[in-house]
Amino acid sequence: MATRLLFWKKEEEDLYGEQHAQPGLLSDFILGSQDGLVNVLGVILGVAIASQDIRIILAGGLAATFAESISMGAVAYTSTLARRDHYLGEIERERREMTELPHVEREEVREILRKWEFEGQELEEMLDRIVSKPKAWLELMMAHELNLAPVDKGQ
């Protein structure tokens, strides 16, 4: 039973001991390295055209490498913070809506279930089960209404 519902998926993965790769530091490193390499090569070529002195070319390459490292680290850090802040803000907004406008939020869940081809009594039973569990309800709304994936708590 493959599904995007996080509260079910987690139980299934734990049951079967599945370990899935998570994007993170390695993907950031690879992307940053490729971008940084292109920029550093551009600097080295520019310096090599301007000067034939190998020491100046190497110094320019090292300076560009250092600057790229700092820049990539700063971009990764700020984008991670922004993604985390956005996700946490949306969780709070969604929780508030579930409390203050439960009928509206319930209808949004109904629409999600309709898209999954639930109908009639089956739809209503599923709807009742989901909204009776606030954690499941919230995760469903985050994943399928807002299309947001959870952020790592360590970020």
Give rounded-to-5 percent helix, strand, coil for the chain. Answer: 80, 0, 20
pTM value?
0.62
Rounded Cα–Cα distance for residues 20 and 30 (Å): 19
Rounded Cα–Cα distance for residues 80 and 76 (Å): 6
155 domain-assigned: no
65 domain-assigned: yes
State how many domains the chain has.
1
Rounded Cα–Cα distance for residues 7 and 10 (Å): 6
Range of the domain at 40: 25-145
Rounded Cα–Cα distance for residues 94 and 142 (Å): 8
57 domain-assigned: yes
**pLDDT per residue as tens, the chain (155 positions):** 334 444 444 445 455 555 555 556 676 677 767 777 888 999 999 999 999 999 999 999 999 989 988 888 888 889 889 999 999 999 999 999 999 999 999 999 999 999 999 999 999 999 999 999 999 999 999 999 999 988 876 65
Q: If we measure between CA atoms, which residue out of 137, 136, 71 comes closest to residue 102?
A: 137
